[in-house]
Structure 1
Amino acid sequence: HQFCHIGAHAFLGMFTAINRDVPAYTMVSGQPGTPRGINSEGLKRRGFDAEHIRHIKDAYRTVYRKGMKLADAITELDSRLSSQPELGVFVESLRASERGLVR
């Protein structure tokens, strides 16, 4: 959709149809677009180290796998920002969503 935002380092599969925002670092595919995990290969190619990628995967699981409300997940991730600053881009992309997130 022309007004959807695609976050930094996100990856969309070929022919993926999205009608909601895609958070940073997220890999989305299908019709409709469904989150499949984080773009770990792209992050490795961009120089992210293994520990940062692990933190981002944990943050992704908090949002998509724990069954939490988005506001509660953002609150939990905010508490991690001081020790895991690499999550800042991910959390900000969640917060900035105007159309809702792909689920």
Structure 2
Amino acid sequence: MTQGCAAPAQTAHLPATVDLAREAVIQGTVVRGDVPVAGAYARLLDSTGEFTGEVVTSDEGIFRFFAAPGDWTIRVLAPGGVSIDSSITAAIGEVAAVEVAI
């Protein structure tokens, strides 16, 4: 399974060590039709558009970021030159979920 920048494995379930009472989590899936897209890059951009982090989607098309509370943009760069932006808000104690269809 591909990982980015020492990020934990990108799986559908949060690791047992994650304490949601103290974390804001952004998690999503990249799909083409009904098929997950593995190997896409998910970038986390702050409210000013500045790059904050990047992970590679898992075999199931899953990505995850642990972020500060607030407004974020997820930019997905997928095979074939596809680039899609999605806005999302992260909050402590929640998993902000997004599905990115390419």
Q: Structure 1 or 2: larger helix share?
A: 1
Per chain length, whose mean CA-contact separation is higher, i.e. which structure has more relative contact order (CA < 8 Å, sep 6+)? 2
Alignment TM-score > 0.5, same fold: no
TM-score of the pair, normalised by structure 1: 0.31
More strand by share: 2
Return the TM-score normalized by structure 2. Answer: 0.31
